[in-house]
Homo-oligomer: A and B are copies of this chain.
């Protein structure tokens, strides 16, 4: 869904009438920084092709501390839940939410629901835990989620039941686009019951494929880790004669990790992503290109997103995981097996190394770049929640943290533009043709 001046508006519970402790501290000269007014906006478009300058200007609401807030800090209870696959930085997000609520707003009642939405059900594996600055002090040194996670939906009624039972005013949902889309049902259920529970999403997507979020936490760390594995793959490939290394990376619908780590590593011969289809057979097909590469330089390094080449499995039935995500067929194992067969038939003996590092990539602690994202996103989420905003998610647009209505996500995802500069850079580096076998 494209943003318009209408669909970028953020829903809230009503007028903010309480002076924010931050505004009070500013007024008292106890701190510095800028309050953000509701009229401050971030443009949706910064690139202008002046041959066609007459595009309508569209804006996102800018995140940040407001002068007035909706919830009375002394009486507010906030909660955090982390959903879906782990991603570097979850613990930083949890920590910064707690620190901002506790120290800057004076909210002392903060709960962490354990194991994702499972933690809201009657057979939750564990009860919510109270979160304090002391408890979260060093959790950023650990990967994963301190409060656990889970996949799969839980019905909105159950969640609202639990939120109401615990007297939660603000729920921070740290999760992927599925989680954010699903959160709309929680909002609807809350509305039905007239429960003023602010639902504030924080986008977690190691694939970096959520719309209106230029980059989110976890992605930079993932690219760093992926680049290191590619370097290993290139070492293996060049240390032996006629060796092919295949690195399968995360990227269900979007090849950002594969593309960026290819640019960072440079030693890649083929980068295959979901956005750019390719053919296997024929003179200009993938197999032939790999063969040429082996004959020319004795090695080939292939980086492939898990979502690439799904067209080769079209005759197979589509399956869905517990969260409703379409399950990928394993393109890495497929290429490994197919290339083996191809070179056996060609009687060219090869060595094949297969790298499938996804779970090692996503479970490390956040690097410094991602730490900074986590802190900005978490604090912005707290500001939004305290103002009684709801049905929204934190966005990131042109270096600014923004508010994105959940409804704007629709069913789309951010993807690499095959005619754009990023993909052009990948082609420059690999030297591969733009459309393999097409």
Residues of chain A touching chain B, judged by Cβ–Cβ distance below 8 Å, are 29-34, 37, 39-43, 45-51, 59, 62, 64-65, 86, 99-100, 103-104, 115, 118, 125, 138, 140-145, 148-150, 214, 220, 223-224, 227-229, 231-233, 235-236, 238-241, 245, 260-261, 263-264, 266, 298, 353-357, 359-360, 363-364, 367-369, 371-372, 375-376, 379, 397-400, 418-421, 423-425, 427-429, 431, 433-435
A50 touches B40 (CB 8 A): yes
* Residues B428 and A144 in contact, CB atoms below 8 Å apart: no
When A43-B46, A368-B224 are in contact, do A239 and B357 touch as well, CB less than 8 Å?
Answer: no
Q: Across the interface, do B434 and A372 meet the contact criterion of CB distance under 8 Å? A: no
The CA of A47 and the CA of B62, in the complex, are separated in Å by: 8
Known: A46-B399, A220-B369, A231-B363. 18 other contacts (CB 8 A): A29-B434, A31-B434, A32-B418, A32-B435, A33-B419, A33-B427, A33-B428, A37-B51, A42-B47, A103-B431, A143-B231, A232-B364, A236-B363, A261-B368, A263-B375, A264-B371, A264-B372, A357-B360
Q: Are B424 and A32 in contact (CB under 8 A)?
A: yes
Chain B residues near A141: list those with CB within 8 A: 138, 141-142
Contact of A33 among B228, B372, B423 (CB under 8 A): B423
Q: What's the Cα separation between A222 and B100 when bound, in Å?
A: 26
Are A236 and B86 also in contact (CB < 8 A) when A32-B435, A431-B103 are? yes
Cβ contact within 8 Å between B40 and A49: yes
Instruction: List the number of copies, as a whole number.
Output: 4
Residues of B within 8 A of A354 (CB): 359
Contact partner, A240, options B138, B150, B368, B419, Cβ 8 Å: B150
Evaluate contact between A424 and B359: CB separation under 8 angstroms. Answer: no
**B47 adjacent to A367 (CB under 8 Å):** no
- Please give, as numbers and ranges, the residues of chain B lying within 8 Å of A31 by CB-CB distance: 424, 427-428, 433-434
Residue of B nearest to A114 (CB): B241
Give every chain B residue within 8 A of A39 (Cβ-Cβ): 49-51
Closest 10 CB pairs of A and B: A33-B424, A32-B434, A144-B235, A144-B239, A235-B363, A232-B363, A143-B235, A224-B368, A398-B398, A39-B50
A245 contacts across to B, CB distance below 8 A: 359
The contact sample of 20 A-B pairs, CB cut-off 8 A, is A33-B421, A33-B424, A33-B428, A34-B421, A42-B46, A43-B46, A43-B48, A46-B46, A47-B62, A140-B266, A144-B238, A148-B241, A150-B241, A227-B368, A231-B363, A235-B363, A236-B363, A354-B359, A355-B359, A379-B428
Q: Are A241 and B125 in contact (CB under 8 A)?
A: yes
What is the CB-to-nearest-CB distance from A40 to chain B, in angstroms, rounded to a whole number?
5
Q: Which residue of B lies closest to A30 (CB)?
A: B433
Known: A48-B40, A141-B138. A30 touches B434 (CB 8 A): yes
A257 shortest CB reach to chain B, Å: 11
Interchain CA distance A210-B29 in the complex, whole Å: 30
**Minimum CB distance partner of A226 in chain B:** B368
Interface centre among A33, A149, A150, A398 (most CB of B within 10 A): A33
